[in-house]
Structure 1
Amino acid sequence: MRIILSLYILALYSLNLKAQENPVYLNYNWEQTPQFETRIPDSVGIVGLKDKMIVEFIFEDDNFVEYFLEHKAFLLNSDERIEEYNRIYLPYNNDSELQVNKARVIKPNGDVVELDESQILTAEDEETQRAYKFFAFEGIEKGSIIDYYYVVKKMAPDYSGKRINFQQPYQKKNIEFDLYAPENLVFQFKSYNGLPEVSQDTLSESKKHWQLNASVIPALEEEEQAPYEALRAFLIYKLDENLANNTQNIISYSKVSQNLYKAYYNEIDKKTQKKLDAFIAESGIKPAMSADEKLRIIESYIKTNVYLGEGGNSGNDLESVLDQKVANSAGMVRLFVGIFKTLDLNHELILTSDRQSLRFDPEFEANSFLNEFLFYFPETGKYLAPTESSSRYGFPPAVWTDNFGLVVKEVSLGNFKSAVGKIEYIKPVPAEMTVDRMALKVTFDEEDLTQVNVTLDRSFEGYYAMYMQPFMNLIPDDKKDELLQDFAKNLDENVVITEKNLNNADPALFGVEPLEFHVKFESEAFVEKAGNRYLFKIGELIGEQIQMYQENERKLPLEDEFTRTYYRDLEVVIPDGYTIANPEDINIDHSFVLDGEELLMFKSTYTLEGNVLKIKADEFYKVNKIDKDFFESYRSVVNSAADFNKVTLVLEPK
């Protein structure tokens, strides 16, 4: 949920404003006889024939309001697309009013069927009890066009950094965007990912007018592991100046930083401070503990004992959070700040975005980038996400890192305290901090070489442990037992488990010790007899691996969630009287080096010490973002693990 950062109280009115004018939408209508280009290949299921948006900010009856008009037309050329688009939902809520809604179907023979009121339906969301409207199209055939537009009046206008997406997985034609505003208001715009720039209509007299036009926006199809939302062509606009009172930089990070400081760093009264001190004491923190220890303990205590609600005013102020153990996002941030200040833990408040949806732009200040809260601790170099219950200190949501953010730092001048904001890079957690480690020891049954005895030790650190270890105390013993068994049964459903145990399952050990699983089992799934030889499918012991396919040329960059490392050590006791005919099949080596640094790597090697075969198969990914030009290098490293998974060793008599 996006957090509202601040309310800008703006003197938007000019003392010499002209008489109130009518909104632009009143003069808008569709063509009575629409003319659309309808020739498309049979293989194409949908084309956007028209995409027009008009945004207007206007003073109306002493209110500053926004009108939003959207007019779209689609040619539907497949049953799948007809099913997908036979309902179109209209985006309005309790803070808005639907002014106009018109829709029609244009059939392949040219007949036009306009929807009547009975086909513009109202429904209610069972969970939120919010009413919504939708167009219910009927009688759509292949080759039909659905054409509709609506106008919404918003009583709470959005001018602090609004994002509008223009690109879809299908081609769009005839794209128009217009923004109108009173003469005294100046907006700024920025286009992303190849979208044409917005220009000002200098001939407009009574209103300021900006516009964007494009004859075609090509389809952008999704690709595996591509951050699709971040790569779509989109626009962000914001209010920047009020010429009537010479107010500039209306939406600025300097003002956001000041507002954040006032909201979260205000003085705590004695009554509330006493309750806060008691809360800290209950957490088990001791003065002699290191900053790392204090932060791990207090975060775990808060996220275990304070319920994070969805929103509203409940749990907004610090005292009510301490009394009720319920907090909304703002209340949770206040609780953490109060504790950090009480414990004298030096920290910085950060606001950022999910880089796979919207990469933080360090060059355009807009509130649309300020969606997620983090804390940074200079002493430890680690981050903490206060409003993410599944995240833990040192391992914030990975998609909030490897990104820029607004860092708010407290500054003091004598007794006066304030804050400054600065855009800084949020480093990703290094690959060596997130580890999946596997150690296997294999022996063959002396009487039946098709049966192997396996000791499997598997451990997880970092992000791989974060979704299990902090919550192991909540998992019933029988479910823990199932989890242990699954490590063996995922390799072979018919294994016979002879020993199993779980180590470091204490939530307090996350970030301190790895979560460890130990299983011993017997299996007949990995060896087949072939005459006087045995085929040992050793690669299958590391489990099924991802195989990446790319039939067409890669068009989009690739992005992982987090950097990571895999260590795999296999030790095999070769049966007496046998030797391995093809040990060289174990050797696999693929890597990606950029500017002299090895960033991606899979390497498997072996050594023979008497009758013991020792194999190392290690893998790491030290970067999250891979340009499309390097996709094949990434794919070869990923597929190397899948290639190892297919390795079969041949045991033959000496």
Structure 2
Amino acid sequence: MKKMISCWALLFIAPLLLAQENPFYKNYSWEENPDFSVKASDSTSIIGLKDKIISEFIFEGEDFLEYFLEHKAVWLNSDERIEEYNKIYLPYDNNSELLVNKARVIKPNGEILELDDSKILTAENEETQRVYKFFAFEGIEKGSIIEYYYLVKRVPEYSGKRLTFQTSYDKKDVSFDLYSPSNLVFQFKSFNDLPEITRNTLSEKKLHWTMRAAEIPGLEEESQAAYKASSAFVIYKLDQNLSNNTKDITSYSKVSQNLYNFYYGEIDKRAQKKLNKFLDEAGVKPGTDTDEILRTLESYIKTNVYLGKGENVGSDLESVLNQKVASSKGLMKLFISLFNTLDIKHEIILTSDRQDLKFDPEFEANTFLNEYLFYFPKTDKYMAPTEFDSRYGFPPAYLTDTYGLHIKEVALGDFKSATGKIEYINPVPAEETVDKMIIDVNFDPEDLTVTTIKLDRTLSGYYAMYMQPFMNIIPEENKTELLEDFAKRLDESAAIKSKEMNNADPALFGIKPLQFVIDFESEAFVEKAGNRYLFKVGDLIGRQIQMYQENERKLPLEDEFTRTYYRTINVKIPEGYRVANAEDININHSFSKDGKEVLMFKSFYEMDGDTLKITADEFYKINKISKEFFEDYRTVVNSAADFNKVTLVLEPK
């Protein structure tokens, strides 16, 4: 097991002289004759009867260690749940030692089956070669309780640790305890209605914090919701060492300075020469438009430098330049060194995926610092250096519309350093992610059930990002399939007459939209009914999602990115016919926030001679909708589905 000495030994040397009580685990065990009470309806399949976590930070000689215990009891009342819980995986890696692992099954009749060592198995992941241990339960029947606990001795995490206590099922008897030497002060923050962590003052030789909850209700997953970020959890961090009056042990100012020292060191002449050569190979021309430079540079790096994993993948700048293989750190160094060579002002951002964990602007903990972005003040745009599917101006959308730690270089004379500031990462505006359709429809004069359709569809922003930057490596047969698929989605039996793709050059991403033009013939949109024809015009925009909500919405709704849809359908009305029910086209629903229209679906029409021109526009200018406005969002989304149902009646004049 690795030892924590280095600078932390100096930081914590004072407490080595302090007396400590025995670690909690010395006296911990489960009840020999457990007495769990289960009250459940016939439809209930699972209840958590005990959920206990204890963590103690302790000194053993020169080592600073953590003892972590998890103790659970779960009632299972369905075959599906039994199947789900017949294996329980245990934490086990090179930095930890599994000291205690006990498990048992308590049957409905009270019989107790305790697992022996033969039921605690070890396996290895063939792909990662990671070794793990698990309990293999046997003898579980409906109405049984599985109970287990384990104790791990490990290298401690103290700069920000997250523990989640809420799941999809109800839990009872939930508790959390954290112990530390009397000089080490931790800070805690509870999220999403988890009870606050309080200090227990009864212990004299160590510090003790605790949380108790008689019950935590289950939280069901809902569509378009940040489920993990919305569940009840706590984050804690080491904040002070009272023995030497060290404060803010976990702080963003330290993170900012450490990252600056790592990424912004001096570059020697040999490495600089290689950087200049790299820029020449990339086709970057200093002095041109900043947007163009950044697009060119990013595209070249993400096409020619391989992002590797493992201990042997270099983070050294020269190694990256020589081998074109980089770790995440190496890739960051490469980008930053090139930005500095080109004198492009930038900031490092550290943030978290808002679906998983919303960045808290008030509680500093390294738990929130999971993902890297660059911000360019001159262009007000972002770049995700280690996300190869992302492109400049369109970072992973779940890393936007949230807070982040901005790290900026500052200079005072010849002295350079860094400052860290929490700022909001704005989402890409809806006007920059557009799905635009122009559809021209003509009827066969000999048979009005046959239509000739020209579909002109352009995609930009996030809708184009997963295609346009990679068009140079997509095989031609796949491009053909992609093109034809736009027509086949409307009619699987469509007869393709012609097709073309424009602006497929990766260098045009963010400059010109990716365009698909398909001419096809179809018999899927018109049916004859006596002397009238039923034209399913709503199907031409493609199948739209219809949101159903039988139960009251519990969680806020979150979209990935803001977006806009423009649709124009030009229908040449056959000679001798008219549209009997054109008013069915008119749909108008919207939602406003702070006096601005932020969600909208609006469809309308006008007649221009014998051409019926239909407009069906839609936009979503915000990603987050609180649950009290969920019905407004659902109404707008369902408006597009309502348009799908519009069938025009063509009747003789």
Report the 3-state secondary structure (helix = DSSP H, G, I; strand = E; otherwise coil) of the residue aligned with 2:295. Answer: helix
- TM-superposed CA distance for 1:16, in Å, is 6.1
Cα gap change, 1:314 to 1:7, in 2 (>3 Å): farther
- C-alpha contact 2:554 2:627 (8 A) present in aligned 1: yes
> Post-superposition shift, 1:312?
2.7
Structure 2 partner of 1:254:
253
Q: TM-score by structure 1 length?
A: 0.98
Unaligned stretches of 5+ residues in structure 1: 1-5
Any residues of structure 2 matched to 1:470-485 within 5 Å, and which? 470-485=469-484
Are residue 208 (structure 1) and residue 215 (structure 2) matched? no
* Cα deviation code 1:321-346 (max 9, x no counterpart): 00110111111110000000000001
2:597 alignment counterpart: 598
Task: Please say if residues 168 and 232 of structure 1, whose CA atoms lie closer than 8 Å, have aligned partners that are also in contact.
Answer: yes
| Offset at residue 12 of structure 1 (A) | 1.3
Distance apart, 1:285 and its partner CA: 1.0
Query: Are residues 1:174 and 2:176 paired?
Result: no
Equivalent position SS for 1:266:
coil
* Residue 165 (structure 1) shift: 0.2
Which amino acid is 2:144 matched to?
Answer: S
Alignment of 1:87-98 (within 5 A): 87-98=87-98
Letter in 1 for 2:31: E
Gaps of 5+ in 2: 1-5
Q: Which residue of 1 aligns with 2:3?
A: none
The equivalent residue for 1:328 is 327
Determine whether 1:533 maps to 2:532.
yes
Pair 1:640-2:639 in alignment: yes
8 Å contact kept, 1:533–1:652: yes
Give distance in 1, aligned partners of 2:233 and 2:15.
36
Greater Cα offset, 66-75 or 11-20: 11-20
- Report the secondary structure of 1:323's partner residue: helix
Q: Between 75-84 and 34-43, report the one with greater CA deviation.
A: 34-43
Residue in 2 aligned with 1:610?
609
Contact residue 20 and residue 181 of structure 2 kept, 8 A: no
CA distance in 2, matches of 1:7, 1:419: 22
Residue 54 of structure 2 aligns with an amino acid whose one-letter code is I
2:76 is matched with 76
Residue 13 of structure 1, CA deviation = 2.1
AA partner of residue 67 (structure 1): Y
Counterpart for residue 141 of structure 1:
141
Q: In the alignment, is the contact (CA less than 8 A) between 2:438 and 2:457 conserved in 1?
A: yes
Alpha-carbon distance, 1:129 to partner: 1.4
Q: Deviations over 1:95-123 (max 9, x none)?
A: 10000000000000001110011111111
Paired residue type of 1:528 = E
Contact 2:309 2:327 in 1 (8 A): yes
Matches within 5 A, 1:363-512: 363-512=362-511
Q: Which moved more, 1:6-15 or 1:241-250?
A: 6-15
Query: Aligned-pair distance for 1:80?
Result: 0.6
Counterparts of residues 261-410 of structure 1 (less than 5 Å): 261-410=260-409
- 8 Å CA contact 1:51, 1:73 repeated in 2: yes
How many Å separate the matches in 2 of 1:146 and 1:288? Answer: 67
Moved more, 297-306 or 200-209: 200-209
Equivalent position of 1:123 in the other structure: 123
- Change in 2 beyond 3 A, CA 1:409/1:645: same
| Structure 2 Cα separation of the partners of residues 329 and 311 of structure 1 | 10
Contact 2:119 2:137 in 1 (8 A): yes
Cα deviation for residue 609 of structure 1 reads: 1.0
Q: For 1:152-211, what per-residue CA distance to the aligned partner results, in whole angstroms no more than 9, with x for missing partners? A: 010x21001000000000000001100011111000000000000001111111111110
> What amino acid sits opposite 1:187 in the alignment?
F
Q: Residue 596 of structure 1: CA displacement? A: 1.0
Which range moves more in the overlay, 15-24 or 259-268?
15-24
Shift, 1:624, TM fit: 0.3
Other-structure match for 1:581: 580
Q: Quote the Cα distance in structure 2 between the aligned partners of 1:335 and 1:27.
A: 53
Name the CA distance, whole Å, in 2 between partners of 1:427 and 1:266: 30
1:454 and 1:520 in contact (8 A); partners too: yes
Residue of structure 1 equivalent to 2:188: 189
SS in 2 for 1:568: strand
User: Structure 1 residue 26 and structure 2 residue 19: aligned?
Assistant: no
- 2:290 and 2:634 map into 1 onto residues whose CA distance is 41
Q: Is the 8 A contact 1:20 1:59 kept in 2?
A: no
In the other structure, the counterpart of 1:49 is: 49
Quote the Cα distance in structure 2 between the aligned partners of 1:533 and 1:477. 43
Give 2:153's aligned residue: 153
Taking the aligned partners of 2:24 and 2:628, their CA distance within structure 1 comes to: 46
Is the 1:104–1:148 contact (alpha carbons within 8 Å) kept by the matching residues of 2? yes
Q: Contact between 2:20 and 2:206, CA under 8 Å: does it hold in 1?
A: no
Q: Deviations over 1:333-390 (max 9, x none)?
A: 1000000000000111110010111000000000000001111111100000001000
| 2:568 counterpart residue number | 569
- Asked if structure 2 preserves the Cα contact closer than 8 Å seen for 1:559 and 1:626, the reply is yes
Shift of the 10–74 alpha-carbon distance from structure 1 to 2, 3 Å rule, reads farther
Please give the secondary structure, in 2, of the residue aligned with 1:449.
strand
Q: Deviations along 1:115-162, whole A, 9 cap, x unmatched?
A: 0111111111111212111111111011100000000010x2100100
Is 1:520 the counterpart of 2:492 in the alignment? no
Deviations 1:78-107 (A, max 9, x none): 111001001100012111000000000000
- Contact kept, 8 Å, 2:92 with 2:131, in 1: the verdict is no
Task: Provide the alpha-carbon RMSD of the alignment.
Answer: 1.1
Q: Deviations along 1:43-89, whole A, 9 cap, x unmatched?
A: 01000000000001000131001110000000001111001001100
Structure 2 distance, partners of 1:16, 1:187, is 18
Post-superposition Cα deviations, 1:244-266, rounded to whole Å, max 9, x if no partner, equal: 11100000001110001001011
Give distance in 2, aligned partners of 1:492 and 1:267.
61
Q: Match for 1:377: what amino acid?
A: F
Separation (CA, whole Å) in 1 of partners of 2:494 and 2:127: 45
Answer yes or no: is 1:14 the counterpart of 2:14: yes
CA distance in 2 between counterparts of 1:219 and 1:16 reads: 43
* Cα distance in structure 2, aligned partners of 1:220 and 1:438: 40
User: Contact between 2:57 and 2:67, CA under 8 Å: does it hold in 1?
Assistant: yes
* Structure 2 Cα separation of the partners of residues 418 and 621 of structure 1: 41
Distance, in Å, in 2 between the alignment partners of 1:298 and 1:212 is: 51
Partners of 2:570 and 2:614 within 8 A in 1: yes
Structure 2 residue 65 is the aligned partner of structure 1 residue 39: no
1:15/1:129 Cα in 2 relative to 1: closer, same or farther (>3 Å)?
closer
Mapped partners of 1:126, 1:21: distance in 2: 43
Q: Distance in 1 between matches of 2:396 and 2:195?
A: 33
The answer to whether the 8 A contact 1:602-1:640 is kept is: yes
Q: Is the 8 A contact 2:457 2:515 kept in 1?
A: yes
CA distance in 2, matches of 1:499, 1:409: 52
| Percentage of identical aligned residues | 69
Kept in 1, the 8 Å contact 2:585–2:605? The answer is yes
Shift of residue 19, structure 1, vs aligned partner: 4.7
Shift of residue 313, structure 1, vs aligned partner? 4.7
Q: Secondary structure at the residue paired with 1:637?
A: helix
- Length-normalised TM-score, structure 2: 0.98
AA matched with 2:35:
Q
CA contact (8 A) 1:105 1:144 kept: yes
How many Å apart are 1:599 and its aligned residue? 0.7
Give distance in 1, aligned partners of 2:487 and 2:183.
Answer: 70
**Secondary structure of residue in 2 paired with 1:138:** coil
Query: Alignment partner of 2:472: what SS?
Result: helix
Contact kept in structure 2, 1:20 and 1:60, CA below 8 Å: no
Q: Kindly tell me: are residues 372 and 16 of structure 1, through their superposed partners in 2, closer, same or farther at Cα, counting changes over 3 Å?
A: closer
TM-aligned CA deviation for residue 22 of structure 1: 3.3
Q: Distance in 2 between matches of 1:643 and 1:119?
A: 56
Q: Which amino acid in structure 1 is aligned with residue 67 of structure 2?
A: Y
Secondary structure of 1:493 counterpart: coil
Distance, in Å, in 2 between the alignment partners of 1:73 and 1:31 is 12
**Alignment partner, residue 3 of structure 1:** none
- Indicate conservation of the 8 Å contact 1:606/1:614, yes or no: yes
